[in-house]
């Protein structure tokens, strides 16, 4: 049982951009880089984008092989990913993630700040991993098409970095309380996306939904 997307450059790019959702991770970036000078904040952004790319590239290269080797159907993977995303959204809504980010030990390096929760699961989360696996389905995509999708992913992540580069100005405008409000609102959005993913995965698992044609 496979789920696939139509192969179209604009469609794939928009799909990736929406699923990665850079706006939702801006509050996380602002929290993770709180108190840092601009140069160090940009380093955190670079590390986060770089790590996210490597994680998603690994998913593109071997994600489907791993699922097939473990005999895990795509709906089951989507169900698990949606549950993780739901828990992540809950943390944002309740302010737990904000507390975790602000309680980072003083000895945390810039790289440590970039990994959790910004790179994983902020950027390279369950939804993003699932999407890149589907967009590069080995059964329906040629190597050239998979390379094109990888290029689209790079463009999306470059946009991420540009948004983070101007995030400092956004922080000055919103203030700490404003950032918390924005992060909680986007937490609700993520919870909604996760619930929708859960419903879809359950329907697919029980044959109550039709799969798009290859």
> What are φ and ψ of residue 67, in 5° steps?
-60, -40
Look up tokens 């080797």; give the residue. 69
Rounded CA gap, 128 and 133, in Å?
A: 9
Q: Is 33:41 a contact under the CB 8 Å cutoff?
A: yes
- Which residue in the block uniquely carries the two structure tokens 């895990």? 72
Q: Is the Cβ–Cβ distance between 28 and 122 less than 8 Å?
A: yes
How far is it, in rounded angstroms, from Cα 104 to Cα 109? 10
Task: Give the Cα separation of 195 and 178 in Å (integer).
Answer: 26
- DSSP assignment of 203-214: HHHTT-SPPPP-
For residues 159 and 163, give the distance between their C-alpha atoms in angstroms, rounded to a whole number: 6
What confidence score (pLDDT) does residue 130 get?
Answer: 81
Q: What is the pLDDT of residue 2?
A: 44
Residue 101: its pLDDT value, please?
Answer: 65
Nearest by Cα to 118 from 130, 136, 104: 104
Q: What's residue 182's pLDDT? A: 74
Residue 95's nearest CA partner among 27, 20, 144 is 27
If we measure between CA atoms, which residue out of 88, 153, 162, 160 comes closest to residue 122? 88
pLDDT, averaged in runs of 10, over the chain (214 residues): 55 81 78 85 95 95 86 83 81 73 75 88 83 81 88 93 85 73 78 83 77 44
C-alpha pair distances (Å), 153 with each of 21, 148, 207: 12, 9, 31
**H-type alpha helices, 1-105:** 9-20, 22-32, 38-69, 74-94, 96-102
pLDDT of residue 46: 96
Closest CA relative to residue 47, chosen from 130, 116, 147, 129 = 116
Please report where in the chains the tokens 């980010």 appear, as a residue: 101
Instruction: Give the model's pLDDT for residue 53.
Output: 96
């Amino acid at each position: 049982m496979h789920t696939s997307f139509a192969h179209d450059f604009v469609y794939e790019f928009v799909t990736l951009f929406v699923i990665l959702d850079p706006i939702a991770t801006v509050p996380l970036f602002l929290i993770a880089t709180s108190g840092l000078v601009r140069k160090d904040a940009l380093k955190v952004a670079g590390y986060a984008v770089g790590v996210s790319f490597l994680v998603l590239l690994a998913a593109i290269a071997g994600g489907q092989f791993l699922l097939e080797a473990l005999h895990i159907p795509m709906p089951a993977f989507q169900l698990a990913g949606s549950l993780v995303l739901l828990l992540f959204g809950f943390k944002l809504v309740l302010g737990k993630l904000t507390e975790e980010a602000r309680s980072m030990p003083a000895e945390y390096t810039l790289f440590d700040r970039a990994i959790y929760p910004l790179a994983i699961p902020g950027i390279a989360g369950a939804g993003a991993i699932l999407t890149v696996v589907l967009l590069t389905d080995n059964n329906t995509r040629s190597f050239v098409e998979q390379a094109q999708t990888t290029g689209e992913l790079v463009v999306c992540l470059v946009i991420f970095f540009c948004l983070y580069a101007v995030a400092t100005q956004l922080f000055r405008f919103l203030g700490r309380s404003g950032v918390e409000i924005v992060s909680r609102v986007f937490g609700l959005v993520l919870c909604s996306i996760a619930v929708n993913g859960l419903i879809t995965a359950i329907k697919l698992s029980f044959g109550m939904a039709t799969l798009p044609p290859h």
